């Protein structure tokens, strides 16, 4: 939310004033000015949220330790249990690499979509 507030504060007020002079409705100002100029903020927030979701560990470890029946397990908690409780370090390392690849590919896809949207718009 704070990122979006900062993004909104960086939008020049002159753009809204010019749109109002041209007779734009509030919906048109939002659609044509606010949303496109917040695309970088949205991109950054999406990438950071994706990384944070996949890296959720502390809450699961402290509150539930994956119980009941593993229903609150996350990828990082699974890596932790495989490495330090089952002593399967190689397997846990392989899972960590797969997690890295998934996050890297997801970030690349978001970069490509953003770049394509910038070229079109």
pLDDT band at 58 (very low <50, low <70, confident <90, very high): confident
In the chain, pLDDT over 70 holds for what percent of residues?
A: 98
In this predicted structure, the answer to whether residue 83 has a pLDDT above a threshold of 90 is yes
Burial class (CB in 10 A: 0-12, 13-18, 19+), 77: buried
CA atoms in the 13 A half-sphere facing the CB of 78: 15
Domain boundaries, the chain: 1-37, 40-121
Cα 65 to chain center, whole Å?
Answer: 25
Span 20-43, pLDDT tens digits: 999 999 999 999 999 989 988 988
Q: For residue 47, what pLDDT is reported?
A: 86
More confidently predicted of 119 and 7: 7
For the residues 9-16, what does the mean pLDDT come to?
A: 93
Global pTM value = 0.68
């Amino acid at each position: 939310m704070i990122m979006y507030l900062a993004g909104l504060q960086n939008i020049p007020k002159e753009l809204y004033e010019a749109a109002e002079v041209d007779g734009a409705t509030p919906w048109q100002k939002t659609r044509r000015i606010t949303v496109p100029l917040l695309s970088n903020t949205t991109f950054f927030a999406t990438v950071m949220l994706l990384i944070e979701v996949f890296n959720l560990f502390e809450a699961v470890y402290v509150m539930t330790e994956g119980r009941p029946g593993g229903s609150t397990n996350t990828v990082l908690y699974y890596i932790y249990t495989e490495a330090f409780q089952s002593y399967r370090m190689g397997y846990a390392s392989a899972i960590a690499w797969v997690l890295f690849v998934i996050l890297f590919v997801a970030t690349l896809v978001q970069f490509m979509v953003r770049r394509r949207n910038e070229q079109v718009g």
